[in-house]
Structure 1
Amino acid sequence: MNADAPTQPSPVTQAPPVAEASPATQAPPATRSSLPPPVSGQHHEIDSPAGRLSYWADGPKSPTTATPLLLIHSINAASSAYEVKPLYEHYRAVRPVYAIELPGFGHTSREKRQYTIRMMTDAILAITKEIQRIHGDTPIDAMALSLSCEFMARAANEAPQAYRSVALVSPTGFETRPGRWVGGSRAIPWLHNFFENPLWSETIFGLLTARPVIGFFLKKTFGSSNFDRGLLDYDYLTTHQPGAQHAPYYFVSGYLFSQDAPLLYQQMKMPVWMSHGVRGDFVDYGNKALVAGLPNWSVTAYQTGAMPHFELPDAFARDYDAFFAGLPASRAP
């Protein structure tokens, strides 16, 4: 597997729960009392070009030199860091782990503003810089889900030195369709204007996020009625917070989808592990041959839906660890 030259290990760093943190990064008491933490660990907030961001951090209780791991949830009407919970809870015992909540989702601000590809990419770059500040400027490992894989790829191309490796779970952008391969989004302005009409904006979102409807979409995602009920419960809670409709309306209107996603993936230079399922509505990877043959890419398909880390957590972690084992010598996970 081709990769940049390995970096030298930085001095031993303390895992997030016991490391000193600057007062500015410690989050104030939660203002959304009805929304519990999506994962364990400490809640922090930072200012960034994408606005004020919320993230969660945890890790071993003793000092470690393990490479930090950043986990990034998908983008949909009910996105939150809960979507990476199985991986977060697994890896926090052995390495520093971080879970960001992107602008418009979870405990991050949900104000009414324009949500863009640039904003999401800047959020990933900002949390990456914060993690590196804490851990001595070392390259990190990062994993993203679904549409966030496109933001992750863009961030990795803009700051390749910041990432030791990237993992993409059920990435969008590999659909069997002609691509324009040019910059820009797939925005449909009139559709967004329709959804955000104040006469029915909240009503429509309320209908789309009723518990049975969320369950319907989770069934489509998992390709089975055997989906995680904890995810259903949290999805319902997070979609019933003030301003919860704003970012999802930009999502369904195409503003967050990149025209040039295939090119972004092909341009990545660090080791990349792509994984996906074969069940449900999100199984079109007809264009994955564009990257499957690249020397820095490896691809794993699971007999699951679009969230294999929920359905096969042990097998998924073993495969991820095997991917780590093949990386250039650096700070071991």
Structure 2
Amino acid sequence: MSVVSEDLLHRTNQSYARSSLANPVGGTRADIVAKVGRLATYSLGVSSGDDTTRPLLLVHSVNAAGSAFEMKTLYDHYAKHRPVHAFDLPGFGQSDRDDREYTARMMTDAVHAAVARVQEVHGQQPIDVLGLSLSCEFVARAAAEKPEAFATLGLISPTGFEGKARDARVPTTRGQSWLLSTLRFRLWDEGFFKLLTAKPVIRKFLEKAWGSKNIDESMLEYDYHTTHQPGARYAPYYFVAGFMFSKDILSIYESLRLPVWMAHGVRGDFVDYRHKSRVAGRSNWTIVKFDAGAMMHFEVLDQVVRSYDQFLALSAAPDATVVSA
């Protein structure tokens, strides 16, 4: 892994109207090259030479319009108190959007690369990692594969607890090749994605995530612009076709031994957590819910960070027990 560029000045929200895409969050941008391709990473907060505070890595969700912007409220908040990092997953934001296979394995490897980058900057100490929605599956698998790199794991609105139990014992995905081929059929693939990412459609998706019409308008604007970049449709089509959803994710969640904080909302389309009983009650899991939608950190940020900070403090206390609720 190597750094392509560092200390790039972030562009402001006013640049959204330009043809080039603004960075989703502020601070220092560094593009790294890993086996998953070029990843755009962002950092802000306590200087890299400070080793008294554990760094935090934020990982955005996957959908048609995913980017590190989805973690902006947490990024900005924690930058006032500790080193904070974020990155754009492969196929999204400022990272490479090549025409290639986008799978759960690739996304997990991207998490490994981002974690390694943070450790290069701050020393080889374990770090706190917090994911959103589908990325919770990637960070959980990464933590299971390399537990020594993770101090704690945070999961906001995690997938994998809904519907039919995904507890296979082999790491396969729900990928449907026929569906991917249909989506990628050259007569309509670009046209279909344009329809999928029209502003009214993006707004409707965000309203479903919020469980309310009171969405974050700046996210709507960024989502629209990031979906209208070259290659923007490639990764989302693999998402829609199921290649990023792991059939064994419940088994992965159950295998985790580090402290885990899980938060979910009660409004909107993403409220099915019927299988959380598989981990609730375990001493290393803390499960909380908020009167909010899936993007609770945009709705009730103060409540979210208070709960997460309490979890971090408890997990760091000697002989403390992390209690699920």
Matches within 5 A, 1:222-241: 222-241=210-229
Q: Which runs of 5+ in 1 are unaligned?
A: 1-21
User: Structure 1 length normalisation: TM-score?
Assistant: 0.89
Letter in 1 for 2:20: S
State whether structure 2 residue 230 is matched by structure 1 residue 250: no
Cα pair 1:27 1:45 within 8 Å, conserved = no
Counterpart selection for 2:158 from 162, 171, 181:
171
- Find the aligned partners of 2:186 and 2:30 in 1 and give their Cα distance: 33
Query: Deviation digits for residues 15-48 of structure 1, max 9, x if unmatched?
Result: xxxxxxx864527799x95211111101111111
2:15: which partner in 1? none
Counterpart selection for 1:279 from 267, 276, 288:
267
Residue 316 of structure 2 aligns to a residue whose secondary structure is: coil
- Find the aligned partners of 1:86 and 1:179 in 2 and give their Cα distance: 31
Q: Which runs of 5+ in 2 are unaligned?
A: 11-17, 319-325
Query: Deviation digits for residues 195-250 of structure 1, max 9, x if unmatched?
Result: 11121111000000000000001011100001111111110010000010000000
User: Structure 2 length normalisation: TM-score?
Assistant: 0.91
1:117: which partner in 2? 104
1:26: which partner in 2? 6
Structure 1 pair 111–29 and aligned structure 2 pair: CA distance change class (3 A):
farther
Structure 1 pair 23–181 and aligned structure 2 pair: CA distance change class (3 A):
closer
Cα pair 1:38 1:82 within 8 Å, conserved = yes
Structure 1 pair 217–200 and aligned structure 2 pair: CA distance change class (3 A):
same
Range moving further from structure 2, 169-178 or 210-219: 169-178
State whether structure 2 residue 59 is matched by structure 1 residue 40: no
Matches within 5 A, 1:4-153: 24-26=4-6, 34-60=20-46, 64=50, 65-153=52-140
Range moving further from structure 2, 50-59 or 248-257: 50-59
1:15: which partner in 2? none
Matched-pair identity in %:
50
Cα pair 2:48 2:121 within 8 Å, conserved = no
Counterpart selection for 1:324 from 312, 320, 324:
312
Matches within 5 A, 1:260-275: 260-275=248-263
Residue 126 of structure 1 aligns to a residue whose secondary structure is: helix
Range moving further from structure 2, 140-149 or 191-200: 191-200
Letter in 1 for 2:63: N
- Find the aligned partners of 2:187 and 2:26 in 1 and give their Cα distance: 39
Letter in 2 for 1:272: V
Counterpart selection for 2:247 from 240, 255, 259:
259
Aligned residues: 308
CA-based RMSD of the aligned residues comes to 1.8
- Find the aligned partners of 1:37 and 1:24 in 2 and give their Cα distance: 16
Matches within 5 A, 1:207-226: 207-226=195-214
Cα pair 1:174 1:285 within 8 Å, conserved = yes
Letter in 1 for 2:299: E
- Find the aligned partners of 1:180 and 1:293 in 2 and give their Cα distance: 19
Displacement, 1:116? 1.0
Letter in 1 for 2:181: N
